[in-house]
Amino acid sequence: MLYADSMTRVYLADSKPEERSALRMLLLDMKMEVVGEAEDWATTLAQAPVTHLDMLLVDWDLLPINLGIESLAELRLACPAAIVVVLISHMGARQQAAISAGADMFISKSETPSRVTERLRLAAASVRA
């Protein structure tokens, strides 16, 4: 592939297949490579580090209840160079928790596809920085 060396490698973690599918299509349209997917936290933690990902898109609701901050910190240790983008259904306190937990960026699931694309491009730009 002509641009293989510059493609952002993304791992998707969301419990809802339809949301993973929509995100996968969006990422492919953006010329990003989806290197793996998971529908639960245990799979994410086991598989993501071995995919050599650049970016992890993870649904905040996928993180173990009451252990979101610790779980994200554990992932950070396993994938220290990855950009972590947290997808959040409900804004407010969860937004602050995601940032505090070590997320590089958050994206509301209620955003328009063009806004999600814009935010993902911004995250991908920081991978290359």
Encode pLDDT of 17-33 as tens digits.
999 999 999 999 999 99
| E-state strands within the chain | 9-13, 33-38, 55-59, 83-88, 105-108
In this structure, which topology does domain 4-8+18-128 adopt according to CATH?
Rossmann fold (3.40.50)
32-36 long-range CB contacts below 8 Å, 24 or more apart?
32/7, 32/8, 32/120, 32/124, 33/7, 33/8, 33/9, 34/10, 35/9, 35/10, 35/11, 36/11, 36/12
Per-residue confidence at 1, pLDDT binned at 50, 70, 90? very low
Give the per-residue pLDDT at 128: 59
Go through the chain and tell me how many residues it has.
Answer: 129
- pLDDT value of residue 95: 57
Q: Judging by DSSP bridges, how do beta strands 83-88 and 105-108 pair with one another?
A: parallel
Give the model confidence (pLDDT) of 44-57 as tens digits: 999 999 999 999 99
39 pLDDT band (50/70/90 cuts)? very high
At 98 the pLDDT is: 58
**Residue matched to tokens 């997917």:** 37
- The per-residue pLDDT for range 100-125, each reduced to its tens digit, is 667 788 888 888 889 999 999 988 88
Quote the percentage of the chain above a pLDDT of 90: 40
- Across all residues in the chain, what is the average pLDDT? 82
